[in-house]
């Protein structure tokens, strides 16, 4: 295995193109090194991003744009993110331990697409966009809700680099909540729910977005629950019905943490709790 440390994005894209499927990008290493240790991936060439300074930037002017080398801690502590995108702030604060947040990156977390990771659910609920680049194809964007397609599978091509994630400005009056069910706070979620809702002047919910982690083999947008909510005034009964819709849409994987039926029930309960928390 060879290690490369490019100084520009173009140089990194060239290395990815030259080495093909045998190349892997390393930023913080909190996901990739585990996969390598467990022999789940074969790596011929590691392309390190730490020398590409522009990828460390976090911009919060109108929309938020977070570069590929920005760590979870940097995103969590950024005052612009905390004020303008509190849902992402809350999800970043829920990521594992301080040591992991200090090393791991948001874009790396998204690129590896663990279905029970914290930030992706918040990104789906925030209408975020993933920015990709390759030498042959140039730059393109994919909506976060479309980026996650299977168990640790994404829309990114082997030669593409996740260069940034952007989030549009929140709708006026948006209310958000992120709730996580895990054995310990530092663990991956068994199920977690990110919600962003807007209540109109007439007292009814005018917009709703819900992201679920642990409810399928990839981060899932709970569109059925959203349809239950829109046009209705907030109430505990409405939240319960939305939770039931989220549970019906969920297709969780059975594992040591629970059966499919158990995780569906948790997804429903936690969707209702997240809505109650967001809407008081």
pLDDT digits (tens, 9 = 90+) for 213-228: 999 999 999 999 999 9
Query: Where is the domain boundary, 138, 167, 196?
Result: 167
Residue whose C-alpha is closest to residue 4's, from 31, 26, 35: 26
Q: What is the mean pLDDT of the chain?
A: 97
For β-strands 220-221 and 205-213, DSSP reports them as antiparallel
d(C-alpha 185, C-alpha 94), whole Å: 7
Could you tell me if 146 and 196 lie in one domain?
no
Q: For residues 34 and 269, what is the distance between their CA atoms, to the nearest angstrom?
A: 32
Total of domains in the chain: 2
58 lies in the same domain as 96: yes
> If you write DSSP's letter for every residue of 137-203 in order, what string do you get?
TEEEEEEHHHHEEETTEES--TT-EEEEEEEPPPPTT-EEEEEEE-SSTTSPPSEEEEEEEEE-TTS
Domain range for 203 = 175-279
**For residues 162 and 109, what is the distance between their CA atoms, to the nearest angstrom?**
11
Whether residue 47 has pLDDT greater than 90: yes
- Show the tokens assigned to 41: 């991936």
What pLDDT is stored for residue 193 in this prediction? Answer: 98
3-state secondary structure of 205: strand
pLDDT > 90? residue 280: no
Q: CB–CB of 66/106 below 8 Å?
A: yes
Q: What is the pLDDT of residues 6-31, one digit of tens each?
A: 999 999 999 999 999 899 999 999 99
Asked if the structure places residue 182 within a domain, the reply is yes
Question: What is the average per-residue pLDDT within 78-85?
Answer: 98
pLDDT digits (tens, 9 = 90+) for 164-177: 999 999 999 999 99
**142-195: pLDDT as tens digits:** 999 999 999 999 999 999 999 999 999 999 999 999 999 999 989 999 999 999
- Show which of 167, 193, 214 is a domain's final residue: 167
């Amino acid at each position: 295995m060879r290690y490369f440390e490019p100084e520009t994005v173009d140089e990194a894209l060239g290395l990815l193109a030259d080495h093909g499927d045998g190349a892997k990008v390393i930023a913080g290493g909190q996901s990739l090194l585990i996969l390598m240790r467990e022999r789940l991936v074969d790596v011929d060439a590691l392309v390190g991003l730490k020398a590409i300074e522009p990828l460390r930037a976090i911009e919060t002017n109108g929309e938020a744009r977070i570069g590929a080398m920005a760590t979870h801690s940097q995103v969590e502590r950024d005052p612009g993110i905390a004020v303008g995108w509190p849902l992402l702030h809350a999800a970043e604060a829920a990521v594992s331990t301080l040591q992991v947040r200090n090393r791991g990156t948001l874009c790396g977390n998204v690129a590896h697409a663990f279905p029970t990771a914290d930030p992706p659910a918040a990104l789906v609920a925030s209408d975020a966009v993933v920015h990709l680049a390759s030498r042959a194809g140039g730059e393109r964007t994919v909506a976060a809700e479309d980026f996650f397609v299977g168990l640790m599978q994404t829309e990114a091509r082997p030669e593409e680099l996740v260069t940034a994630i952007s989030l549009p400005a929140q709708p006026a009056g948006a209310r958000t909540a992120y709730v996580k069910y895990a054995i310990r706070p530092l663990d991956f979620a068994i199920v977690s729910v990110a919600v962003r809702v807007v209540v109109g002047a007439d007292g009814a919910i005018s917009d709703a977005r819900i992201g679920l982690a642990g409810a399928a083999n990839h981060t899932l947008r709970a569109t059925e629950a959203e349809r239950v909510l829109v046009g209705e005034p907030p109430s505990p009964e409405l939240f319960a019905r939305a939770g039931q819709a989220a549970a019906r849409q969920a297709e969780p994987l059975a594992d040591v943490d629970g059966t499919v039926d158990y995780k569906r029930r948790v997804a429903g309960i936690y969707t209702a709790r997240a809505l109650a928390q967001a809407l008081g």
